[in-house]
Chains A and B, each alone.
Chain A
Amino acid sequence: MNKILSVCPYCGCGCGLYIHVEDGRITGVSPSRTHPVNRGSLCVKGWNAHEFVAHPDRLETPLIRDAGGFRRATWNEALTLIAERLEGIRAEHGPDSIGVLSSAKCTNEENFLMMKFARAVLGTNNIDHCARLCHSSTVGGLAAAFGSGAMTNSISEIADASLLFVIGSNTTEQHPMIAMHMLAAVDRGATLIVADPRRTQIAEFAHIHLRHRSGTDVALLMGIMNVIVGEGLVDADFVRRRTENFDSFAEELKRFTPAAVEEITGVKANDIRRVARVYAMEKRSMLFYAMGITQHITGVDNVRACANLVMLSGHIGLPMSGINPLRGQNNVQGACDMGALPNVYSGYQKVADPRARRKFERAWRKRLPAAPGLTIMEMMEAARAGRLRAMYVMGENPLLSDPDINHVREAIERMEFLVVQDIFPNETSELADVILPAASFAEKEGTFTNTERRVQLIRRAVAPVGEAMPDGDIICALAARMGYSMSYRGAYEVMEEIALLTPSYGGILHHRLSEGFGLQWPCPDSSHPGTPYLHRKKFAKGLGTFIQVDFLPPDEPPDDDFPFLLTTGRLYFHYHTGTMCRRTAVLEREEPECLVEINPADAERLGLKDRSVVRVTSRRGAIEPRVLVTSRVPEGTVFIPFHFIEAAANVLTNPAMDPGAKIPEYKVCAVRLEKIRT
């Protein structure tokens, strides 16, 4: 019996866990008792993170499409074919006819290698990953306001906060170990304010629960700020010394009186005043948000509004004071940090900046493209238009996770060549020309960066199944075949290159991570202890900027034909497109099917009971899930989790995007419900 310290592969909490190994097989997991995030606890997904590794569905050999489906192939054959086809398409249509999707499930090292592969080997900046769909508005919004788009505090600070403002985050279900710290804070007397249209579990503990209409977050936040300014609760000293552009912003605020905001959001003016007073007056106030803020066509504005709120009251730059976007995937923070984005290299160094580009060109000995590439949604659009002809997808499943998947399917079917690299076959790999088997988190070395910027080692517990290889090794082998040497002795060597080229990771090296629980960036040099909270004394970009925001209603509000507002999200027992959790006995048993949540009043009007089958139709498609009658959702709103291919919520969702971040509006679209049978 051996126990190997690793990091949970599910959400962005980054809990420390032990993988139990006996005779080369995984026999279980247990939580680390001294880990600063989970302190001896795990959520149900963490407790069951061991099972899928040995699941029979694991991809074990490369597969190549032939007339009758897929046939097994050798690595040599598969990689040669990929290299030939990608080179052919590049020669004929130029490098920008190829797109790459990197993965927030893979390690920092692998994302860095993928980013290098796209830019130095393929010669395109068309690289993106699922952060586009969850927190691209954060990366853009907070970077403009503060110069850095990440959680500003540490998770271990939460329990000592005196006020928690949670907006658009179902924390107990989606970041359970962060919710654990929140509960501890409440137990110690902290005030909890939750703003969420749904009555989530965390809302049960809230002293004030604001149930605003979906998509009216900007108005709500502006209303709160209007009161803060109007009642003289602004931290004037902080605003004067550390921010800019306050005056014109204050002018903008005047329109958002509590009464006007009540009209838009449905939240009582008095509640808005109460929240404004308690938030501004308390010290040690932490603001948390997640997809409820970001997944809107006004995602960036929502984030900016949050940023303005914390600056207005001076709740940033101190321990237990800050703005905390809760990142979804185990390594989505890291994948962004590593520059698996179309416009930046690692450490958010812009590709359009000639100095940054020259630095990477010199290190990689290759001319690099200067123009920013395409985002996920733009790649799909380009594929539909015939401009993007090949795609290399690592550890993603756009055919279930992207909005309006009927449209995505069309786009992918039009591509000439699709490579999917994953641990399990999924909806997207069914359309692939070549499928490559990757190693799971328990079968490789590397680092994950959790939502509080903590870079932690994962360790190899067992050998990869079959012929599966770590994603990083696959990329390097393919690069070699395409005439560019990417040769490393191990993940630690890749990390050395990352440290060399990325200021915020400058001191993060594997040997420093092997004892204890990692380092939090920025960590500029090898003697730096890491940074528990950001923006101390000054913002990363100098002065914090109040950026104008304006309220814009959702792109597709309910109307007479489609009278219900559909909002989508995740379930506690499942994770994203379900490739891992739906192959885990207990998790799948708990939530085996898609249920649409509907308010009892609406259900009665439509003659629906629990488990009735209903057709849910939007302007883009229809699905037929069963019904769950619950007052968690308000009247006029329905909620559908997006995990289930059998009734894929993203058939319905609206691909309308935030103009800046290109994040689609998963949280609001209009649907119609028809009873099929009770």
Chain B
Amino acid sequence: MKREWILEKNHISYWLRQLRKDRDLVGPLRNEGKDVVFMTVEQIHEVVLDLPASLPSPKEFLFPQYESMLRFNVSGKVPVAGPGAKTVSPGACVECSREGDLLDLADRRRRLVFGVRSCDVSAVRLLDRFFLEGFRDPYYEQRRKNILFVSIVCNNPDPTCFCIGLGTGPYLEEGFDIQLTDLGDRYFVQASSAEGIRTVKDMSFLFRRPRKADLDDQYEVFLSAKARFHKRISLESSRRAILEGRVKDSFWRRVTERCFECGGCVYECPLCTCFTVADRRYPDAVERIRLWDTCLFKGFTRMAGGILPNGKRMLRTKRWFYHKLVHYPEVFDEFGCVGCGRCAVTCPGRIDMATIATEMKGLDLDGSEQRP
């Protein structure tokens, strides 16, 4: 169920200010280095609305790079001082349930992430399936329950973007919380999730019903957005090329020569979920943390005795692409890529999804099949 309204631009600061009262408002801000990054918004007028370049993925708000999972108190007391206490963040600990000596540090902060892109929202939908179907990841679940995304229809895709070929952007028909389309002097507001609809309705006096002219303008933005993509990539033709055996190992070897093993593609990917878990022993407590990891590192699957099932870098590069292009469609019926282009921004060797898919296109002779 999708509901639609119009919000005058004059009203957006007021709206955000009200939303901020019971949520941490995170939005794109320009900082000292002239980059635009997602941060807690202090001054609402500083929010950068015409998102000029691709941003780090909002995955970090659901699945942060460094996350405290639990703290086991060795001394039997809740740490109040000393090295133990310094690592329990006051914000996270206010509500933490205490069972015996185990401190569960799941983050229950309410967040509103403003200004994400449609591809990010599509990615979160897939992340939900990974983290919440079957085994439910409690840390992800807590954060997910408390987060609301306001996405913006992209009318200025980066040269690296290719969501248009995947149906994950530049705008969405459904599956978002709140989606804004910039119509110049006003926003076309759509809410799809229950929480999204409630959030708009709570302040219904700011919104009005859309008229025919608004709908026409919105359609025009959609058309213009679709026309602006530099990259037109069908991952299906890559998938076909792989499944039909046209991509030989020599191809992957050549690709892998350019891999710097930085892990950037995985860290930046809004869909990658590799993590590692480590225990850190403090004088009076043990803390379990989880950290982003990547399957592109040989040690990720190291077995006892130092055996490396994927010791060759080529095998790991191949696995990453296979996972996104072949296994994802098998398991989730969708590609493990939303075309956000972040790997293209971050890969020092320029062997990102778009580049490789383009190269594989040459290997695929019949690109006429349907998407899975």
Residues of A in contact with B (beta carbons under 8 Å apart)? 1-3, 5, 16, 18, 20, 22-35, 40-44, 46-48, 50-51, 54-56, 60, 172, 176-177, 179-180, 183-184, 187, 201, 204-205, 465-466, 514-517, 572, 585-586, 589-592, 611
A30 to B26, CA, bound (A): 16
Within the complex, what minimum Cβ distance (angstroms) separates A511 from chain B?
A: 12
CB-CB contacts below 8 Å: B19-37 with A: 24, 26, 31-35, 37
A50 to B298, CA, bound (A): 21
A516 touches B66 (CB 8 A): no
B65 touches A27 (CB 8 A): yes
Residues of the B chain whose Cβ atoms lie less than 8 Å from the Cβ of A50: 65-66
Number of A-B residue pairs with CB-CB distance less than 8 Å in the complex they form: 151
Q: B50-75: contact bitstring with A at CB < 8 Å (1 yes, 0 no)?
A: 00011010001100111110000000
A50 to B64, CA, bound (A): 12
> With A23-B92, A589-B276 as given contacts, are A1 and B24 in contact (CB-CB < 8 Å)?
yes
In-complex Cβ contact of B291 among A51, A60, A179, A517 (8 A) = A51
A44 to B294, CA, bound (A): 10
A585 touches B33 (CB 8 A): no
| Residue B273 is within 8 A (CB to CB) of chain A in the complex | no
A515 to B53, CA, bound (A): 19
Residues of B in contact with A (beta carbons under 8 Å apart)? 24, 26, 31-35, 37-40, 53-54, 56, 60-61, 64-68, 83, 86-87, 89-92, 257-258, 260-264, 267, 276, 278, 280-283, 291-294, 297-300, 302, 306, 345-350
A40 touches B345 (CB 8 A): yes
In-complex Cβ contact of A56 among B35, B282, B293 (8 A) = B282
Within the complex, what minimum Cβ distance (angstroms) separates B130 from chain A?
A: 20
Chain A contact residues: helix, strand, loop or mixed: mixed
A42 touches B262 (CB 8 A): yes
A40 touches B346 (CB 8 A): yes
Query: 12 pairs across A/B with beta carbons < 8 Å?
Result: A1-B61, A24-B90, A30-B56, A31-B346, A34-B33, A35-B33, A176-B260, A183-B349, A466-B86, A516-B32, A585-B278, A589-B297
A585 touches B276 (CB 8 A): yes
9 interchain residue pairs of minimum CB distance: A28-B65, A23-B89, A180-B348, A23-B91, A585-B278, A40-B345, A41-B348, A589-B299, A590-B299
Within the complex, what minimum Cβ distance (angstroms) separates A612 from chain B?
A: 12
A51 touches B26 (CB 8 A): no
Chain B contact residues: helix, strand, loop or mixed: mixed
A23 touches B291 (CB 8 A): no
In-complex Cβ contact of B31 among A3, A23, A180 (8 A) = A3
Within the complex, what minimum Cβ distance (angstroms) separates A59 from chain B?
A: 11
B32 touches A28 (CB 8 A): no
CB nearest to A514 among chain B residues? B32
B31 touches A1 (CB 8 A): no
B90 touches A23 (CB 8 A): yes
A402 to B193, CA, bound (A): 62
Within the complex, what minimum Cβ distance (angstroms) separates B274 from chain A?
A: 10
B89 touches A515 (CB 8 A): no
> With A42-B264, A466-B83 as given contacts, are A586 and B291 in contact (CB-CB < 8 Å)?
yes
> With A1-B24, A56-B83, A589-B299 as given contacts, are A30 and B34 in contact (CB-CB < 8 Å)?
no
A43 touches B87 (CB 8 A): no
> With A41-B348, A514-B32, A589-B299 as given contacts, are A30 and B260 in contact (CB-CB < 8 Å)?
no
B33 touches A32 (CB 8 A): yes
Residues of the B chain whose Cβ atoms lie less than 8 Å from the Cβ of A205: 257
A495 to B64, CA, bound (A): 36
A465 touches B276 (CB 8 A): no
A40 to B160, CA, bound (A): 13
CB nearest to B306 among chain A residues? A611
Residues of the A chain whose Cβ atoms lie less than 8 Å from the Cβ of B294: 586
Residues of the A chain whose Cβ atoms lie less than 8 Å from the Cβ of B261: 44, 572
> With A41-B262, A589-B276 as given contacts, are A183 and B348 in contact (CB-CB < 8 Å)?
yes
Residues of the A chain whose Cβ atoms lie less than 8 Å from the Cβ of B39: 1-3
CB nearest to A172 among chain B residues? B260
> With A1-B40, A2-B40, A16-B33 as given contacts, are A176 and B348 in contact (CB-CB < 8 Å)?
yes
A47 touches B349 (CB 8 A): no
CB nearest to A46 among chain B residues? B262
> With A2-B40, A5-B32, A30-B56 as given contacts, are A187 and B350 in contact (CB-CB < 8 Å)?
yes
A56 touches B31 (CB 8 A): no
B346 touches A25 (CB 8 A): no
A586 touches B32 (CB 8 A): no
Residues of the B chain whose Cβ atoms lie less than 8 Å from the Cβ of A33: 35, 53-54, 345
Within the complex, what minimum Cβ distance (angstroms) separates A506 from chain B?
A: 23
In-complex Cβ contact of B35 among A34, A42, A187 (8 A) = A34
Within the complex, what minimum Cβ distance (angstroms) separates B37 from chain A?
A: 5
B66 touches A26 (CB 8 A): yes
A465 to B86, CA, bound (A): 8
A515 to B32, CA, bound (A): 5
A466 to B82, CA, bound (A): 8
Residues of the B chain whose Cβ atoms lie less than 8 Å from the Cβ of A1: 24, 26, 38-40, 61
Residues of the B chain whose Cβ atoms lie less than 8 Å from the Cβ of A176: 260, 262, 348
A5 to B39, CA, bound (A): 12
B35 touches A586 (CB 8 A): no
A96 to B66, CA, bound (A): 47
In-complex Cβ contact of B60 among A20, A47, A591, A611 (8 A) = A20
> With A516-B34, A589-B299 as given contacts, are A44 and B262 in contact (CB-CB < 8 Å)?
yes
**Residue from A31, A56, A180, A572 with most neighbouring chain B CB atoms (10 Å):** A56
